[in-house]
Amino acid sequence: MSYKVDKLNVQILKHLSDIIEFEVKNPKIGFVTITNVEVTRDYSYAKVYVSILEEQKVKATLEALEQAKGYLRTELARRLKTYKCPALIFVQDTSYEDGKKIEKILEALK
How does pLDDT run across 28-64, given as a tens digit for each residue? 888 899 999 999 989 999 999 999 888 888 899 999 9
CATH code assigned at 93:
3.30.300.20
Q: How confident is the model at residue 11 (pLDDT cuts 50, 70, 90)?
A: very high
pTM (2 d.p.): 0.86
Q: For residue 57, what are the domain limits?
A: 3-109
- pLDDT score at 107: 87
With beta carbons less than 8 A apart as the criterion, state whether 91 and 50 touch.
Answer: yes
Q: How many domains does the chain have?
A: 1
- pLDDT score at 1: 62
| b/e sequence 24-42, b meaning 16+ C-beta within 10 Å | beeeebeebebeebebeee
